[in-house]
Amino acid sequence: MKLLIRNLARSSTEAELLALFEAYGTVQSCTLVMDQQTGGSKGFAFVEMPKPGEAKAAMKNLNGKDVAGNTIRVKKSEPK
């Protein structure tokens, strides 16, 4: 299941995000979306978790959590 994480602090790293989500299960991929011009984070990311049960647990527990001073939002990523 692919999750969309929004409202991340610009200082957040993929490693920090990975650690957050690995607490709930296996993480297949973790991609922090970067601005091509500045090289900085755009404040959102995608995390893929192969087991839907683990992804739902992560979504439930991390949505609304304070991470680096920002309240993050976690939801299922909708296909384009």
Q: Is 31 within the bounds of a domain?
A: yes
pLDDT, position 80 = 74
- The CATH number for 15's domain is 3.30.70.330
24 Cβ partners below 8 Å, 6+ apart? 49, 54, 55, 57, 58, 61, 62
pLDDT, position 31 = 96
Q: Is 76 within the bounds of a domain?
A: no
CA distance 11 to 41: 7
Q: Is the pLDDT of residue 79 over 90?
A: no
Q: Is 77 within the bounds of a domain?
A: no
Q: Is 18 within the bounds of a domain?
A: yes
CA distance 54 to 25: 6
What pLDDT digit, counting tens, does each position of 25-73 carry? 999 999 999 999 999 899 999 999 999 999 999 999 999 999 999 999 9
Q: How many domains does the chain have?
A: 1
Predicted model pTM: 0.93
